[in-house]
Structure 1
Amino acid sequence: MADGSRIFAPAAPALVTGRAPRVAIVHYWLTGMRGGERVLEALCRRFPEADLFTHVAAPERLSQTLRAHRITETRIARLPFARRLYQKYLPLMPAALEALDLSAYNLVISSEAGPAKGVIPRPDAPHLCYCHSPMRYLWDQAPAYRRDAGPLTRAAYDGFAPGLRRWDVTSAARVDRFLANSSHVAQRIGKYWRRDAQVLHPPVDTAAFAPVPRRDLGAYYLWAGELVPYKRPDIAIEAFRQLDLPLIVTGGPEHTARTLARTAGARTQVLGPVGFARLRALMARCRALIFPGEEDFGIVPVEVMASGRPVIAYGRGGVRDSVIEGETGWFFDRPGAEALADLVARCEREAAWDLDPDACIARAALFAPSRFNAGLERALSELGI
């Protein structure tokens, strides 16, 4: 194509009815199935005829739901080693988005956490943006990103970040309606982009989780998720080393799991990635989930509550929307292992982790897919769709 993009066509073309809108869904990159891609699946189910646009796609790592759609990559995908190093090309992504020709589409939906919302729809096409997060590395996490970067990366970042921030704010004006995945994200949209956003929590497949009888509960605590720095598995490992209590850590990538295992205490097991059946069992039998990072929403706490178990979390971020202190979990307010260890020790002394499983399950039910679908329909109706 003239703009350098590349298309992955589905095995069977989607059926487009005469009355349905022609829909373009823009997602930052499609390199695996995480929380953002689960929201994308829900959007695709609502618009089975939609075409997907993204900077880089790895179809073999995507669900059948996503692969059933026509996927167009931007010209970023043509750059060397783009599938592995796509984030290195961040400064080039605004121009790649603006080069996409969306003139055939009368509804544009962007799924934003990396650059996605900056496309240019035609004048009569409503643009709905579902925002998982304004780009963390440009805004609230910028100091941490610079601190952890090497000298060359830091110098490059200091060169491109100011211009990319200006583009990020300017491109927000192209959106007609923002949906935010949590109150925390809505607040950041207001702060950085000066736009209002309606909160619509992501869909969580709560029906896939179930409690176990009390007699089958274990004595361990659980950390689960992707082993990336901002989720702070290191805090959980250090706190439980101090406490000398059993902790299970599960998630990938495997090389990070091996590194963390070398720092773990004697009663901490770092399992690495596990299958869904085992993860489901670990969630249902744990004393509580340990959730020490600041996240935009946090699907894992909802899954654990759907399993009838409570959550011990750092009291900032989207988890404030899901966990009710004293009913479905507790918060510690100072970041770091010491504050987490203090709270877990108190829970142990008071057996506070023995909360009502039904209260946890009822709270999790508020984040079921039906809630997301209803909220999406309201937003579309307000745009005249």
Structure 2
Amino acid sequence: MLAGKRILLIIGGGIAAYKCLELIRRLRDRGVSVTPVMTRAAEEFVTPLSVSALAGEAVHQELFDLTKEAEMGHIQLSRVADLVLVAPATADLMAKMANGLAGDLATTLLMATDTPVMIAPAMNVRMWQHAATQRNLALLQGDGVTVVGPNDGDMACGEFGPGRLSEVPEILTAVERHFGGGPLAGKRVLVTSGPTHEPIDPVRYIANRSSGAQGTAIAEALLRLGAEVIFVTGPADVAPPKGVVLRRVETAREMLAAVEAALPVEAAVFAAAVADWRVRGASDSKIKKQAGQLPSLEFDENPDILATVAQMKAGRPALVVGFAAETDDVIANATSKRQRKGCDWIVANDVRPETGIMGGAENAVTLITEEGAEDWPRMGKRAVAERLAERLAAALT
């Protein structure tokens, strides 16, 4: 899909410039030719030698380089690419772009190009939120510039908030979308996430300990691979990802209805922590506490969403993936669950309190398929999601 494309990569001066080394490598892995341009400030963070070695091309740095002007003038350089990508796009670089300044090679190329331009901003959170930067952003978007990010997160300066450069996979996804693709382009994938809340009365409920972080990360990873994602989520702590078809639910029965309404899909990933039981005859009024008297609760079994979809006679997704959060005999219980439910894969994890996984930032999973169990090392939930999404893409393509 990207093979044979040519990208003019303009590297701005910011600490996030180091990510461009990985970006270049990943682009070249996909068959992209990368022509690098570095601002003088960028050279303070990464060396031209490193950039050139990874790109396989000389780095362009100076506007008045007689040798390079003789070989390829800056006007021609600005027009031979299929896409101009600016990463990181600093506040200064964005301001120059928005106001038509052309005082160095990078900004002159941006002024002279007739090629689509994409920027990945990165700066201090206060700089990103400053009124001038937001005005410049609006001007650039109005001029047709595609913007990727920035993300929320910890800054090198010690502050937290929006301004982090998008991760390399996110930038790659944006590039693939620009050229109309990704391995999952044209495919619909359903993802469930978060807990369900089963009411006891209007103010109390039964739920599982789930932040929704893993489900959100999976949806984001699938989006980066080009999929259309239908995201059915219970009341999670983590905000749903941008770009999904969002369906919010509270209870297991509502989640099942939303899942059935989303079909047909090519694949379904059931990462939600669905409550197994609901209170029979939940009260419409708050149950009052009375000294010495405990309320008596009776339960009904909730629908088994994973089994319902996995065992469908018609309209079953080509790939059904479940999750198994276990505290004992993880592999044995998860393997049994895969067979019992009828799903294709089970992602099993040990959620004993001492692991810190339930509600935490990391996960350690075992992927169980018909071929057996495959242990994955402990890693961040985003990394788990990317690995699972890539496996899913390979299975569907």
Decide: shared fold, TM above 0.5. no
What TM-score does the superposition give when structure 2 sets the normalisation length?
Answer: 0.31
Q: Which has the larger radius of gyration?
A: 2
Structure number having the greater strand percentage: 2
Structure number having the greater helix percentage: 1
